[in-house]
Amino acid sequence: MEKILVIDDDAKIRQQTCALLRSEGYVTVEARNGREGVALARTERPALVLCDITMPEMNGHRVVEALRQDEATQHLPFIFLTGWSERSDQRTGMNLGADDYLVKPVEPTELLATVEARLRRLRSAGGARRATAVSDATPGAIERALGLTSRESEILSWVTQGKTNPEIATITGIQLTTVKKHLESIFMKLGVENRTAAVALVLEKITPGG
């Protein structure tokens, strides 16, 4: 089974989370703070990272920022474990590269379902090679390759990274209905019918050999 890195300065929460994951067959690695977590992510090469936001030495935002800047770890699925008071940080975290948020206290079934969904998405995307291609799908690259507007290119970049419409609305600070209208325009301009076809076209046009 896949290895999961859990980064949390609260020993009880960290140990409970790891115990739950191990009960489902995952291998776990624990980090007591952000700095230790970044180091372990680089040496242990986990399949996914679960990370608290408020921690000593290096907070969760700095952790995801550091991992996204490192070629060896930039494609790791990254899920924040956040307190209710930190929900306002969601947009910041998403912009830095987080894939998902879970609000403490997290229901065990919700945590396991979210972890499995992210790992399943990584598997279906073809693992690291596909992840590398996805990382190339920047707004600028999409705009140059497909001739979309800057806003459309930004939205399609987030779609390529697997973000949902509500997540894209949060990240970009626009209304959900506006996201949907942009997607309708994108599909029409590209001559595709859905998100899957749009992403396939993006990866075909911007990746080496595409």
Which domains can be identified in the chain, with CATH numbers? 3-124 (3.40.50.2300), 129-206 (1.10.10.10)
Mean pLDDT along residues 102-108 = 86
Residue 100: its H or E element? strand 100-103
With bands split at pLDDT 50, 70 and 90, how would you rate the model's confidence at 209? very low
* Residue with the two structure tokens 């952790």: 63
Structure confidence by residue, pLDDT tens digits, 29-76? 999 999 999 999 999 999 999 999 988 889 999 999 999 888 888 888
pLDDT at 186: 94
Mean pLDDT along residues 162-178 = 87
Residue 51: its H or E element? strand 48-52
How far is 201 from 195, CA to CA, in rounded Å? 10
Structure confidence by residue, pLDDT tens digits, 76-102? 889 998 876 555 666 677 777 788 888
Indicate the average pLDDT of the chain.
Answer: 85
Considering the chain, what percentage of its residues have pLDDT values greater than 70?
89
Q: What angle do CA 140, 76, 101 make, to 5 degrees?
A: 90
pLDDT at 9 over 90: yes
How far is 101 from 113, CA to CA, in rounded Å? 12
Measured in whole angstroms, how far is the alpha carbon of residue 95 from the centre of its chain? 10
24 or 200, greater pLDDT: 24
pLDDT at 183 over 60: yes
